[in-house]
A and B are shown apart, each in its own frame.
Chain A
Amino acid sequence: MVTPSEEENQEPVENNHPAKRSRDKSWRTISTDKYIIAGVITALIFGLGLTLGLVLEDARYGLVQQVNQDQEVRYLSLQLQYLFLSTFQNDNSCPILAATLQETIADLSASLNDVISFEEKKTYDDARKLSVERRYLLDNLRYWLLAKESKKKCNLDIVSVVYFYRKECPACAGQGTILTYYKNLLGDRLLVFPINIDLIEHEPMVKIIQSQYNVTSFPTLVIDETIYEGGADKEQLQNIICSSLRDAPQCPE
């Protein structure tokens, strides 16, 4: 029997009820030092994460800037090609123009996807974010104008879609998916120019193009000067696109 013999060494037991017996709590430990160190390390990790996050945010904008610059150069080249074409009436350069146009717009929409997902994240600097968004909107508009002109001039077999959307619009996600679906299917023949109407207070061009087509509900599509208010579902969009394309193997006969 171990317990009873050792109990004698304990302090005298006044009461047999052990609820009162082991009130001695001197053996309890409080690891104060570790509570403090843990707090400091947590703060350090937290701070390190925050700092690195801010540094990366800067890098992110740097990258956006660089993408913008590349776009600028391409746009200049494209504009010059168009000008050259108009000046010399040389239709031989049409294929080059078409290729550059399609390639540039594909790149633009790819970087636009990045920017849109970027938008959804919370950022600290709203002014910078806004300027990036405006920048993409304007890029889209001028490519759209150039595409319209080039289509006329070179008789390109392409469809261009201006897609008006806003953030608070339940049907827009579906419309975007349908557009991406046909973009995947038709590739360079379908050019989509998304216009974020939420920027209307910051960018006068939005106001101009909105009143041009008298857009009041969202989503709205403008396909070759025809306005489709409320967008178009999968079948409708297929009919519209296929009727404007001359030669599309993806379209059912």
Chain B
Amino acid sequence: MNVFVSIIIWISYVVSLYFSIFLLLVYFDQRKSFREEKRGVEIVAYPFISILVPAKNEEKTIEKTLRSIDNLDYPREKIEVFAINDGSHDQTEEVIRRFIINKPHFTLLSHPNRGKAASLNRALALAKGDFFACLDADSFVHPQTLRKMVAFYQRENDPTIAIITPAMKVADPQTILQKIQWLEYLVMILFGRITSVLHSLYVAPGPFSLYQTEIIRSLGGFDEKNITEDQEIAYRVQLQQYKIRQCFDGYVYTTAPATLKPFYHQRRRWYLGSILCLHQYREMIANKKYGDFGLMQMVKNTAGYFLAVAGITISFYYIVLPLLRMMRRAAAINYDVINYALHFKSNINVFTFLLLDFKLVFLLISLFIIGFVFFYAAHRNAGEKIHKAGWFPIFPYFVGYYLLKGFILLISLGQFSRSKKIKW
């Protein structure tokens, strides 16, 4: 086997094993406090909350989004809502207009398309809340989530908390791809909880992150040039030594892409955005001034790109090349493979077992075990049953999904390096 591929395999195994074990250690260290963490909704004094809902061509979901805000278990007089129509071509504005009749705490802002960050900034300038939350128009917030977040803030009693992130779940998964993402998001909730302990969150998800208005304003609001403003703001907050914490049971439900094409577009935007952010804030990589965020999270995020490239290379050698070889062989016998199928003797014996590259298999198994521990713990953490979306999606989740994501990441990486070259 190619020595180069061998080396890549070993490095990526060691790197992923190391980070998985590290996170597992943090998890086991925190397990008790996680179990005992209060899920209280008691609020001492209700702070005023502004909720920003940017919408572009969301006529189908915007009403449900606004209704989920209307259903929040929080005093009406302590909430104001800005629904921002960012140059929609569809009936979004009409739907909002109809919905906010007789709801004085709802305001409609409408302007020609400016982009999400600019829309948020416009509303942020008007917002009177001590805190503000953003809610993408394709997402729905649980009635208790705002209370939980505010209660969490008051329990922590820490004014340097700039952002409280939600626990994001996929709303009503229908297709296989959505069910796989449902599993993925649950794991992300647990990872978010673990990274929250380490003060290492690096994304403030579009669906219902709660921001301290004053801090975000003083940081200059959202970056209107960034394609993933929800990541950029989190990196900026980290850079300025403010805290980001996760409210582990503050659930929001988001619509996940149902088919490959929108999934590809969404992920490519995310990954390209995160590469750009990582590049923009590279001074924090391995920087002790940023504690575990600099030493672990930033390094881990950077290593993630290496792992994606490595994963694709490895799978190319182990899947694509053998497939090509097989095709060539099949061509030699004019594709008369029936003869092979008929005479196929399963030659699995002790020898076959011994033929496995045991060192690799062993590491692979260790990684899978750790992966499964997280997988199981994540479901308990989020109060879901593993098979809620059926058993089947678990298989592609563990086998092909990471490859798919790695592939999209690779494309984003290519896009990034091309754009950098042009600039240089």
Residue of A nearest to B350 (CB): A63
27 A-B contacts (beta carbon < 8 Å)? A2-B47, A16-B218, A18-B218, A22-B240, A23-B241, A24-B160, A25-B289, A25-B290, A28-B289, A28-B293, A38-B18, A39-B18, A45-B21, A49-B363, A52-B359, A53-B357, A53-B362, A60-B354, A60-B355, A113-B347, A118-B355, A121-B1, A121-B355, A173-B332, A174-B328, A174-B332, A234-B333
Report Cα–Cα, A173/B328, bound state, in Å. Answer: 8
Within 8 A of B (CB), among A22-66: 22-25, 27-31, 34-35, 37-39, 41-42, 45-46, 48-50, 52-53, 56-57, 59-60, 63
Given A22-B242, A175-B332, A181-B339, A50 and B359 contact (CB-CB distance below 8 Å): yes
Report Cα–Cα, A59/B339, bound state, in Å. Answer: 34
By the criterion CB–CB under 8 Å, are A46 and B357 in contact? no
Interface status of A253 (Cβ within 8 A of chain B): no
Interface status of A92 (Cβ within 8 A of chain B): no
B243: chain A residues at CB < 8 Å are 27
B residues contacting A by CB (< 8 A) are 1, 6, 14, 17-19, 21-22, 25-26, 29, 45, 47-48, 130, 153-154, 157, 159-160, 198-199, 212, 214-215, 218-219, 240-243, 288-293, 295-296, 325, 328-334, 336, 339-340, 342-343, 347, 350-352, 354-355, 357-359, 362-363, 366
By the criterion CB–CB under 8 Å, are A22 and B160 in contact? yes
Residue of B nearest to A181 (CB): B333
Report Cα–Cα, A53/B26, bound state, in Å. Answer: 30
Report Cα–Cα, A121/B359, bound state, in Å. Answer: 12
Residue of B nearest to A233 (CB): B332
Closest approach, in angstroms, between the C-beta of B283 and any C-beta of chain A?
A: 14
Closest approach, in angstroms, between the C-beta of B219 and any C-beta of chain A?
A: 7
By the criterion CB–CB under 8 Å, are B45 and A2 in contact? yes
Interface status of A184 (Cβ within 8 A of chain B): yes
By the criterion CB–CB under 8 Å, are A31 and B362 in contact? no
A99: chain B residues at CB < 8 Å are none
By the criterion CB–CB under 8 Å, are A30 and B25 in contact? no
B357: chain A residues at CB < 8 Å are 53, 121-122
A118: chain B residues at CB < 8 Å are 355
By the criterion CB–CB under 8 Å, are B218 and A17 in contact? yes
A57: chain B residues at CB < 8 Å are 358
Report Cα–Cα, A18/B215, bound state, in Å. Answer: 7
Report Cα–Cα, A117/B322, bound state, in Å. Answer: 13
B199: chain A residues at CB < 8 Å are 27-29
By the criterion CB–CB under 8 Å, are B333 and A177 in contact? yes
Residue of B nearest to A41 (CB): B21
Closest approach, in angstroms, between the C-beta of B289 and any C-beta of chain A?
A: 6
Residue of B nearest to A235 (CB): B334
By the criterion CB–CB under 8 Å, are A49 and B359 in contact? yes
Interface status of A10 (Cβ within 8 A of chain B): yes
Report Cα–Cα, A180/B160, bound state, in Å. Answer: 71
Highest count of chain B CB atoms <10 Å: which of A174, A178, A234: A174
Closest approach, in angstroms, between the C-beta of B14 and any C-beta of chain A?
A: 6
Closest approach, in angstroms, between the C-beta of A45 and any C-beta of chain B?
A: 5
Report Cα–Cα, A175/B157, bound state, in Å. Answer: 75
B350: chain A residues at CB < 8 Å are 63
Provide the main secondary structure of the chain A interface: helix
B358: chain A residues at CB < 8 Å are 49, 52-53, 56-57
Report Cα–Cα, A53/B215, bound state, in Å. Answer: 55
Report Cα–Cα, A85/B415, bound state, in Å. Answer: 75
Residue of A nearest to B356 (CB): A56
By the criterion CB–CB under 8 Å, are B340 and A181 in contact? yes
A21: chain B residues at CB < 8 Å are 218
Given A35-B22, A39-B18, A181-B336, A24 and B241 contact (CB-CB distance below 8 Å): yes
Residue of A nearest to B362 (CB): A49
Interface status of A7 (Cβ within 8 A of chain B): yes
By the criterion CB–CB under 8 Å, are A7 and B22 in contact? no
Interface status of A96 (Cβ within 8 A of chain B): no
Residue of B nearest to A23 (CB): B241
Report Cα–Cα, A91/B382, bound state, in Å. Answer: 79
Given A22-B160, A29-B198, A50-B359, A177 and B347 contact (CB-CB distance below 8 Å): no
Highest count of chain B CB atoms <10 Å: which of A23, A28, A113: A28
By the criterion CB–CB under 8 Å, are A114 and B240 in contact? no
By the criterion CB–CB under 8 Å, are A184 and B17 in contact? no
By the criterion CB–CB under 8 Å, are B363 and A30 in contact? no
Closest approach, in angstroms, between the C-beta of B15 and any C-beta of chain A?
A: 9
Report Cα–Cα, A34/B154, bound state, in Å. Answer: 30
Interface status of A89 (Cβ within 8 A of chain B): no
B130: chain A residues at CB < 8 Å are 1-3
Residue of A nearest to B337 (CB): A181
By the criterion CB–CB under 8 Å, are A177 and B329 in contact? yes
By the criterion CB–CB under 8 Å, are A2 and B26 in contact? no
B218: chain A residues at CB < 8 Å are 16-19, 21
By the criterion CB–CB under 8 Å, are A114 and B362 in contact? no
Given A1-B130, A27-B160, A30-B288, A48 and B47 contact (CB-CB distance below 8 Å): no
A59: chain B residues at CB < 8 Å are 354
Highest count of chain A CB atoms <10 Å: which of B157, B290, B357: B357
Given A1-B130, A53-B362, A31 and B292 contact (CB-CB distance below 8 Å): yes
By the criterion CB–CB under 8 Å, are B291 and A29 in contact? yes
A45-B362, A63-B354, A180-B340 provided; 12 other pairs, C-beta below 8 A? A2-B159, A3-B47, A29-B199, A29-B291, A52-B358, A53-B358, A60-B355, A110-B347, A114-B351, A117-B355, A173-B328, A173-B329
Residue of A nearest to B352 (CB): A114
By the criterion CB–CB under 8 Å, are B214 and A3 in contact? yes
B48: chain A residues at CB < 8 Å are 1
By the criterion CB–CB under 8 Å, are B295 and A30 in contact? yes
Contact of B26 among A3, A25, A34 (CB under 8 A): A34
Report Cα–Cα, A117/B25, bound state, in Å. Answer: 39
A175: chain B residues at CB < 8 Å are 332
The 3 lowest CB-CB distance pairs between A and B, nearest first, are A28-B291, A174-B332, A53-B359
Report Cα–Cα, A110/B215, bound state, in Å. Answer: 72
Residue of B nearest to A51 (CB): B359
